[in-house]
Amino acid sequence: MTETPVFDLPPNLSAKADRALIAADVEHFAAIDVALRTQLADLTARLEVTRLAPARGGQLALDRDLEVHRLTARIRALRRFGLDACLGRVVPADGSPPTYIGRFGLSDADGRRLLVDWRAPAAEPYFAATFADPRGLASRRRYRWGGGRVRDYWDEAFTAEAAASGTALDDESAFIASLGTSRSPRMRDVLSTIQADQDAIIRADSAGALVVDGGPGTGKTVVALHRAAYLLHADARLGEGHGGVLVVGPHEPYLAFVADVLPALGEDSVQTCTLRDLVREGADAAPEGDPRIARLKADARLVDAIEPAVRLYEEPPTRDLVVATPWMDLLVTATDWAESFASAEPGLPHNDARDQVWESLLDILADQVDPDAVAPHLLRRALVQNEELGRAFTRAWPLVEASVLVADLWTVPAYLRRCAPWLSPDEVAALQRPAGSAWTLADLPLLDAARRRLGDPAASRDRRVRRARLDAEREYMAQVVDRLKEAGDELMQWMDGDDLRNSLVDEAVLTPRDADLLAGPFAHVIVDEAQELTDAQWRMLLARCPSRSFTIVGDRAQARHGFTESWEERLDRVGFTRVRRAELRVNYRTPAEVMAEAEPVIRAAIPDANVPTSIRSSGIAVRRGTVGELRDVLEEWLAAHAEGVACVILAADGGVLNCGTVDGGVLNCGTVDGGVLDGGAVDGGVLEDAAALLDEAKTDAGFWSDVADSSRVRVLTPETAKGLEFDLVVLVEPERFGDGIEGAVDRYVAMTRATSTLVVLE
């Protein structure tokens, strides 16, 4: 039994503390507590023994490392969660004992199951049961934990008998009650309150592409992240050694917002990133300034143009070449060039295949010489050192850097016309730019495709250096062995010379370069805010998941540049072969008062928008005012709310703040990603002639300092606020968000970030 009571209910919930209602839970939690302590001690001891075990090579070493990883992960989960690992319980209608659902499975020393892992089939009724379909349950109880104690719990009775048995019923479910609670800078833990419509999507199989279509507040992101954890647990095709899962979000604030979700679900192997992160040039890439150029580069056909662009660097010479050696002249004919070039392994990147082609060319030349006349290793060394042969080969099959290849497309019109013949002369001219121009976001898919097709030229150079080092190491060790044998050492005479030479070689010289963790291939890819992706960007993701196993989360009504097709049409065009679609139509986040204002905004631009129905009301009407009231609005809200996060959403050009560049930085009314709000650098931009709020930030340091210290106010653009949620949202000059579909979408997205209060300042 724990030292303090498990149930720590506030006075207003004293009725729920009735012993008759919680006695069974208290007893069960005591058993869980004992099992947790016992298992933690046992695992810690086993980990110590495993770590101290003698180091061995090969499979034994791999098995040892995997066991250390497994034990460490389990210990970390047990230490992160105590009794609060229990999400809730279900009572079967057939009179069977209650089943307790947990973040992980747990049994006592006798093998009695104390917690059923939430991802296990036995846990499904806990999430899937509804009053229309109770899934064989009499009742369900959900716990709200705080500080390792139960602060509240809610019961739902699915049968008349359960309702009459003393179950602690409430006017609203646990989930509805939790919606109005204050937000924090990180996504809340919502595992215990996942709803039936969400759970069905989470547990769907991983074959093909599953589109999760839903409007604001429907829990799309919750579904996506919990689906990642579920599939890693339940689908053997995604497990250890099969590639794992990649989660792609829209921007860095989103990744920060959801950073705790997967670790809290016991998954630390999932890679998360934005599209920028997939390409090394992405960190500094700016948006494409010309909409016409952006549309041209969004076309997947330009990605296809990378193949013929590379092929131009793989054309065999058509002239014969005489290669002089100390013994004789050798001839490389056009046929020999073609044969060596054809030896490249299909699918091997250009820079990697170069080594194969070179070796094939050397073999063709060596075949012209009688091995009895010239020692093969001497001939090969002479050929490798032949400068004329080396220059000819380098001209015919050079090492190529992806950035150079793509830059050539934008600076050499003839090259672009040859690789993309469908472009009109005007389009070719429009795509040209001065040499050395900065990369844009629209360039990233082409850079990615080029790098995947070419490979890393530095890696090819490294391989040659490592191979030379290994050859030198082997030659040195051969000399050591020969000298030991010459010295008459009996052991050396007995041992096989070749085996000994190989065993003495230090293969550390072959240490590979660090792997690109985002290069793939992945077994499953999850894409949030997927409605924004261009055809070219989809190619970046498809290249990383050959199985085409995707979870695609988005809302056509939130596509800033319009989305007139169906999901099926869009995905079929970019290369998906099997597409299923599931819809979420219940808005769990945005109050009805806010949605009543937001719905006409989006319907005016997109009449068939999937606008979800809010299931709760905050009782707070949307407030309207002037920009001059911004500080008063924030000050009043902060004074009235000890918890929660507010967000000021303004146009990308800063609006009244006239920010030179925001770039998605997090503005805590005092600091922007390390830049001080004093006219200095802000994400590389400069605050130019900032007006009202900037002046106040300078003159009233006390208030803004308090805000900055609390980290409770953020300033974002509509684009960088996408996917996030805040208790208070203040829209500053929303008419500056733009016209047409883009402006309507930005206003709709910004308005629906509010979980409680929306203020619009004109």
Q: Is 219 annotated as a binding residue?
A: yes
130 is in an annotated binding site: no
- 3 state DSSP class of 149: strand
CA distance 17 to 26: 11
Nearby residues of 131 by Cβ (< 8 Å), 6 or more positions away: 156, 158
* Residue 433 to residue 450: CA distance in whole angstroms: 19
Q: What is the DSSP letter of 123?
A: G
Q: Burial letters for 236-269: b for 16+ Cβ neighbours within 10 Å, e otherwise?
A: eebeeebbbbbbbbbbbbbbebbeebbebbbbee
208 is in an annotated binding site: no
Instruction: List the one residue out of 629, 447, 631 whose CA is nearest residue 543.
Output: 447
347 is in an annotated binding site: no
Q: What stretches of 625-666 show up as alpha helix (H) in DSSP?
A: 630-640
The response to whether 221 counts as a known ligand-binding position is yes
* Beta-bridge partner residues of 581: 211
Residue 329, phi then psi, degrees to nearest 5: -90, 135
Q: At what angle do helices 350-366 and 457-486 cross, to 10 degrees?
A: 50
What is the rounded distance in angstroms from the CA atom of residue 731 to the CA atom of residue 753?
10
The Cα–Cα gap between 181 and 588 comes to 12
Q: Could you give the C-alpha distances from 708 to 39, 574, 660, 669, 671, in angstroms and in order?
A: 43, 44, 21, 6, 7
User: How far apart (Å, rounded) are the C-alpha atoms in residues 525 and 541?
Assistant: 8
User: In the structure encoding, which two tokens stand for residue 635, read together?
Assistant: 């000050």
Q: Is residue 147 marked as binding? A: no
Beta strands 271-274 and 321-324: pairing type?
unpaired
Strand order in the sheet with 623-625: 623-625, 754-761, 726-732, 646-649, 713-716
Q: Does 216 count as an annotated binding residue?
A: yes
H-helix segments, 432-590: 444-454, 457-486, 490-494, 497-504, 535-542, 567-574
214 known ligand binder = yes
Contact 549, 541 (CB under 8 A): no
Long-range residue pairs from 64-71, CB within 8 A, at least 24 positions apart, any chain = 66/240, 71/43, 71/46, 71/47
User: Which value, to the nearest 10 degrees, does the dihedral of the CA atoms of residues 718, 722, 727, 728 take?
Assistant: 0
Detail the DSSP E strand segments found in 21-136.
86-92, 99-102, 106-107, 113-117
Alpha-helical regions (H) of 217-333? 220-234, 252-257, 261-264, 291-298, 300-304, 306-311
Count CB-CB contacts under 10 A for residue 486: 9
Q: Cα–Cα distance between 706 and 651 in angstroms, integer? A: 25
Opening angle at CA 241, ends 235 and 243, nearest 5: 75
Contacts of 673 (CB under 8 A, 6+ apart): 665, 666, 682, 683
Positions at the binding site for ATP: 214-221
Please state the residue numbers annotated as binding site: 214-221
